[in-house]
Structure 1
Amino acid sequence: MRCLLLYVCLLLSWPVLAQEPADTDVEEQKRLVYFTDKADSPYSLSEPLGFLSSKSLERRQRQSIPLTSRDLPVNPVYVAGLKDAGVQVWYTSRWFNAAVVQCTEAQVPEIEALLYVKSTRTLNRIASPATPQLRLQEHKLEVLPLAATVAPALESKDYGAAYHQASMLGADALHAAGYTGAGMTIAVFDAGFPGVPAIEAFSHLFQNEQLQGTFDFVRKQEDVFGASAHGTAVLSTMAAYAPGEMIGTAYAANYLLLRTENAASEHNIEEINWLLAAEYADSAGADVINSSLGYTTFDAPSRSYTYRDLDGNTTLVAKAADYAAAAGMLVVVSAGNDGDKPWRYIASPADADSVLTVGAVDSLGAKAAFSSFGPSADGQVKPDVVALGQKAYVLNAAGNVVASNGTSFAGPIMAGFATSLWQANLNKTAQEMIQLLRRIGSNAASPNNGLGYGIPEYSRTITALPNMPVQEAVYITNPVRHEPVILSLGQDWLQQPVEVLVLDATGKRVFSQRIKGAQLEQPLGLQAQSLQQGLYICRIRSGSRVTTVRFVKL
């Protein structure tokens, strides 16, 4: 934790923070001050451990990413000059070479007259509080009623109600192969994480020291275990470990919990909070960022974005996301929940060209009506991929398993899966992982702006990678009507008896068969007419080989 405090200190000015009142109106008086250069800085690229962790450097080295001047902290002399001018400095950004300050309009000309100041821009100003009705309409975090507590499916002993959202991607098979996110670090950006220390499903994060850092960029404190429970729900889809109730898609990963979002207001300062959290994550050595946040509409008088601005290069947060990706982190962002609203399109940073944008589908793999559409304004196919987001299962702040809707949950389900998959492919770069996830998507042959490249599935890594032999492939009849169900097996699956287990979408066992001397085209004893319409998961095991395929009964 000592190293993490060093990285935070490079962002903050602690003496100033101690003088700040808690009045939220004061917090709205923010500006971003851009500096001209980083000349004569005491920091050096030849001594990077002064501002980056060894894990951050290892991530760069693994992907052959060189350090640049953008990685250097801002010149502390420039920061001291702002303070000498009577300006409160809250944070500094090395990627933007800038400082977040609090000042009056009268102080702006004096700041801009400093020789080392390039320009300034308003982040937000004192404004009349929005009405509760306006907040509900404009707020980017979906406001959804918590469903009643549900009992986990009895035959889904480990994943509980969350089985389908994991198995839809093949995360369960990935876990069975030994890839659970161990050794990887995920930074979660959200609006708060209440209840996390007290929820049993998160106890392993504390017991195993998997929780490696926290910071609240809204209130400038380490404690993130308050405010909105949205972050708790998001975290649970990745990190939960409660066998019989819920298992997340990367339960063995390390986590950084970072609050960037103030759910009570919407201003450009939150984009800068996102930037600062990304720099923190980079310095601390995160491999993956998950952000279930998106920005289009701001409270007056801050200027809202138009669709034209979502070209991947204009918004503050899209620039920040691309810088994070350039540092070798896999940035996973939710597409947004405006697909059935007048806006319709994705929000930023989902438009950034180097991020993995995730939309939502229902349990049958059909696009959820609320899931935002692409393309980005510059014509990129968005979303990139999709995961379960309609009736996804999460933990609420009380630790109960509940059903909820939103790309906010599709995103982290995918982020956890991508983290575990990256653990299995550490020779790949973050950008190569995005390409892999697209290639193993169910819609890879014809991507569109509703589903993108579709639902990635672990078993498709066999056929998606050019260097993988076809003798390892597995296919099943899909869709199924009334004809026999045929399992197509590569040669490697025929060396030992094959065990077949078919589950419905709730995880309930509907069929099992053990086959000695399986054929390349193996008919199953499954009676198609006995199946209800819906999605089914078929798990195949042969010796140490395990994979999952799925089919739809029409």
Structure 2
Amino acid sequence: MKYYFTFVLLFVFSAMFSQEDAWVYFKDKPSAQLFLNKPLDMLTQHSLDRRTNQNISLDATDVPVEKSYFSQIKASAGITIMANSKWLNALHIRGTQADILALKSFLFVEKVVFANKALNTTSKKVSETKLIQTNDKLKTSIDYAYGNSANQIQMLNGQALHKQNYTGSGKIIAVLDAGFPGVNTATPFQNLQAKNQILGGYDFVNRNTNFYTGDDHGTLVLSTMGGYKENELVGTAPDASYYLFITENDASENPVEESLWVEAAEKADSLGVDIITTSLGYFGYDNVDYSHTYSDMNGSTNFISRGAEVAFSKGIIVVASAGNEGRTAEPHIGAPADAVSVITVGSVDSAKIKSNFSSIGPSFDNRIKPDVMAQGTATVVSSATGSIGTANGTSFSCPVMAGMIACLWQAFPTKTNKEIRQMLLEISDRYATPDNSYGYGIPNFGSTLGVENFLASSDFSVFPNPSKTFVSFSFSNENYDALVSIYSVLGQKLIEKQITNQNPILSVEALNSGLYFYTFEAEGLHKTGKIIKQ
């Protein structure tokens, strides 16, 4: 009995004095109006312009955490501040359970949430098994053999944008990853350096400005977008500009990385970034008590996913890897891939077949995930030394897609992030019949919503659309005859008809309800687009 009592004392002592991770949330921001009156004190002009272009108003989430709140938490006994989020009005803290709970005595504290859900008295017990996952970089593998990057672009028909000089120019992409060694020295990145397209960066893990360090995973990721080595590698957005942020600590897996990610996303927002791409995924942690369960993948539970959703509300497009857990006991997407507005990218091979490692959907609340697919098997990348090889993982299908989205947005500069996201889904080959392996499928960036339609003259229309019985093509009187073809989403030609200005009607009555694509060919006029049959 004596030995049992000693064991209990040791257990209680350990529980009371072990370090825990938690978030402390605040009730308000008393200085909010002062910042809102002077927006340049918290955001750059680039950031304000992005909001203006998308009709997005400033609000309290743009305002920093109240300094006095921060100071009082920092001065509290036993508390270490690990990260800071203005969007969620919270601090990520570390301390003993007792010291963290003591923070509730502050009147400005709204709530304290422990990373270990068992310590949250209001949380419900979950019967699912938590996973230990020790590599948030999505378990990539690289084979340093010569590769040809043409296929990963041509699969998306990205060359249709590139040929029209839509190569990402004017768009800013933030890469949130584990490190970027070699980006300042390796040959495939010299094009970016020479043109000052690396705008800056930061190491949030070590809190310093040396971002050309850490794990080379971020280097590989960046190369799929901004890399260039003649006849070997061309990135999907070679003329975009980039910020490089380290948020992933490769030495350990802890939920603080979710908080660092949100902090970096906030920095990206303040700098006027258009697109955030992240090849990081969070499900399990070194401490199994911190690990997520599938029920957390609902878009509103995980700290990082809520941050990603706020980023989207600020006019940013967020692109995330689906994950590489497709062959495991828990094959579903992680966070932030579960977020509602995040463009979650799965992986296919060069033949457009889903990679067996690519994580699947749905989200726990039964939304389609992933959203779209790109090549993630044998994707051509550059290493930190400049060697060109191939790598496997949704870590690479994600930035391949992000780069093409930058090109698309460059072609449609007046579109909002919401409109670009919807366009992406609509130009994907499974848009009419999405599933939780391929999502909406593989986008065709040269199709109806691609550059050809953007550049063409406005004196052309197709109506009614959607239609039950017929569509009519209105086109310039200078084009007397035209050939119209109707295709299924799988590319099968179903209808072909010659039309004229005098008889511009095409019957679609024989088609089943669904989405179809058309081509319109006339002298001096080429059009492509979609038709919805009701």
**Which TM class, normalised by the smaller chain length?**
0.7 to 0.9
Is there any run of 5+ residues in structure 2 with no aligned partner, and where? 1-17, 118-130, 463-481, 500-518, 529-534
Greater CA deviation, 383-392 or 167-176?
Answer: 167-176
**Aligned counterpart for 1:186 among listed residues 160, 173, 192:** 173
Counterpart residue number, 1:107? 99
Is there any run of 5+ residues in structure 1 with no aligned partner, and where? 1-26, 126-134, 153-160, 492-518, 523-541, 548-554
User: 1:118 is matched by which residue type in structure 2?
Assistant: E
Counterpart residue number, 1:56? 47
Alpha-carbon distance in 2 for matches of 1:489, 1:249 = 36
**Aligned counterpart for 2:59 among listed residues 61, 68, 71:** 68
- 1:83 correspondence with 2:74: yes
Q: Is the CA contact 1:490–1:520 (under 8 Å) kept in the aligned structure 2? A: no
Distance 1:107 1:430, change over 3 A: same
Counterpart residue number, 2:10? none
Counterpart residue number, 1:116? 108
Q: Is the CA contact 1:186–1:289 (under 8 Å) kept in the aligned structure 2? A: yes
Alpha-carbon distance in 2 for matches of 1:427, 1:478 = 28
Deviation string, structure 1 residues 42-97 (Cα, Å, up to 9, x no partner): 74212111001111111111111111111111111212223343544444211111
Greater CA deviation, 202-211 or 227-236?
Answer: 202-211
**Aligned counterpart for 1:311 among listed residues 278, 290, 298:** 298
User: 1:115 is matched by which residue type in structure 2?
Assistant: L
Q: Report the alpha carbon displacement of residue 31 of structure 1 after superposing the two structures with TM.
A: 3.6
User: 1:263 is matched by which residue type in structure 2?
Assistant: D
Q: Is the CA contact 2:320–2:336 (under 8 Å) kept in the aligned structure 1? A: yes
Distance 1:105 1:45, change over 3 A: same
Deviation string, structure 1 residues 428-483 (Cα, Å, up to 9, x no partner): 111111110111001112111111111101221358989875779899999999xx
- 1:195 correspondence with 2:189: no
Question: What's the TM-score once normalised by structure 2's chain length?
Answer: 0.78
Q: Is the CA contact 1:444–1:454 (under 8 Å) kept in the aligned structure 2? A: yes
**Aligned counterpart for 2:349 among listed residues 348, 355, 362:** 362
**Aligned counterpart for 2:144 among listed residues 135, 145, 148:** 148
Counterpart residue number, 1:424? 411
User: 1:92 is matched by which residue type in structure 2?
Assistant: N
Alignment map for 1:171-250 (pairs within 5 Å): 171-250=158-237
User: 1:375 is matched by which residue type in structure 2?
Assistant: P
Distance 1:521 1:546, change over 3 A: closer
User: 1:396 is matched by which residue type in structure 2?
Assistant: S
Deviation string, structure 1 residues 150-180 (Cα, Å, up to 9, x no partner): 1x5xxxxxxxx11110111122221110111
User: 1:403 is matched by which residue type in structure 2?
Assistant: T
Deviation string, structure 1 residues 223-266 (Cα, Å, up to 9, x no partner): 12222111110000001122222110011111010111112221
Alpha-carbon distance in 1 for matches of 2:144, 2:71 = 54
Q: Report the alpha carbon displacement of residue 40 of structure 1 after superposing the two structures with TM.
A: 3.6
Alpha-carbon distance in 2 for matches of 1:424, 1:249 = 14
Q: Is the CA contact 2:368–2:434 (under 8 Å) kept in the aligned structure 1? A: yes
Number of equivalent positions: 456
Alpha-carbon distance in 2 for matches of 1:47, 1:472 = 57
Q: Report the alpha carbon displacement of residue 544 of structure 1 after superposing the two structures with TM.
A: 11
3-state SS of 1:198 partner = coil
Q: Is the CA contact 2:520–2:527 (under 8 Å) kept in the aligned structure 1? A: no
Distance 1:346 1:489, change over 3 A: farther
Q: Report the alpha carbon displacement of residue 546 of structure 1 after superposing the two structures with TM.
A: 12
- 1:336 correspondence with 2:323: yes
Counterpart residue number, 1:445? 432
- 1:406 correspondence with 2:406: no
**Aligned counterpart for 2:88 among listed residues 96, 116, 120:** 96
Alpha-carbon distance in 1 for matches of 2:261, 2:498 = 46
Which contiguous aligned blocks of 4+ residues in structure 1 show a shift greater than 6 angstroms?
463-468, 470-481, 488-491, 519-522, 542-547
Distance 1:59 1:33, change over 3 A: same
Q: Report the alpha carbon displacement of residue 276 of structure 1 after superposing the two structures with TM.
A: 0.5
Identity across matched positions, percent: 39
Distance 1:40 1:224, change over 3 A: closer
User: 1:139 is matched by which residue type in structure 2?
Assistant: N
Counterpart residue number, 1:348? 335
User: 1:52 is matched by which residue type in structure 2?
Assistant: L
Alpha-carbon distance in 2 for matches of 1:348, 1:428 = 27
Deviation string, structure 1 residues 168-205 (Cα, Å, up to 9, x no partner): 11222211101111111000011111111111111122
Q: Report the alpha carbon displacement of residue 140 of structure 1 after superposing the two structures with TM.
A: 3.0
Alignment map for 1:437-516 (pairs within 5 Å): 437-462=424-449
Distance 1:479 1:100, change over 3 A: closer
Q: Report the alpha carbon displacement of residue 120 of structure 1 after superposing the two structures with TM.
A: 2.4
3-state SS of 1:179 partner = coil
User: 2:142 is matched by which residue type in structure 1?
Assistant: L
Q: Is the CA contact 2:198–2:242 (under 8 Å) kept in the aligned structure 1? A: yes
Distance 1:315 1:142, change over 3 A: closer
Deviation string, structure 1 residues 22-57 (Cα, Å, up to 9, x no partner): xxxxx9764422112101457421211100111111
Q: Is the CA contact 1:43–1:50 (under 8 Å) kept in the aligned structure 2? A: no
3-state SS of 2:329 partner = coil
Alpha-carbon distance in 2 for matches of 1:322, 1:48 = 22
Greater CA deviation, 324-333 or 454-463?
Answer: 454-463
Greater CA deviation, 89-98 or 57-66?
Answer: 89-98
Distance 1:41 1:442, change over 3 A: closer
- 1:262 correspondence with 2:249: yes
Alpha-carbon distance in 1 for matches of 2:489, 2:366 = 32
Distance 1:196 1:282, change over 3 A: same
- 1:169 correspondence with 2:169: no
Distance 1:41 1:543, change over 3 A: same
Alpha-carbon distance in 2 for matches of 1:395, 1:309 = 35
Greater CA deviation, 112-121 or 352-361?
Answer: 112-121
Distance 1:490 1:227, change over 3 A: farther
Q: Report the alpha carbon displacement of residue 102 of structure 1 after superposing the two structures with TM.
A: 4.2
Deviation string, structure 1 residues 86-119 (Cα, Å, up to 9, x no partner): 5444442111112233444453244221221222
Deviation string, structure 1 residues 506-529 (Cα, Å, up to 9, x no partner): xxxxxxxxxxxxx9899xxxxxxx
Q: Is the CA contact 1:136–1:143 (under 8 Å) kept in the aligned structure 2? A: no
Q: Is the CA contact 1:336–1:347 (under 8 Å) kept in the aligned structure 2? A: yes
Deviation string, structure 1 residues 347-370 (Cα, Å, up to 9, x no partner): 111111111111111111111111
Q: Is the CA contact 2:174–2:243 (under 8 Å) kept in the aligned structure 1? A: yes
Task: Give me the CA root mean square deviation.
Answer: 3.5
Distance 1:173 1:475, change over 3 A: farther
Counterpart residue number, 1:36? 27
User: 2:297 is matched by which residue type in structure 1?
Assistant: L
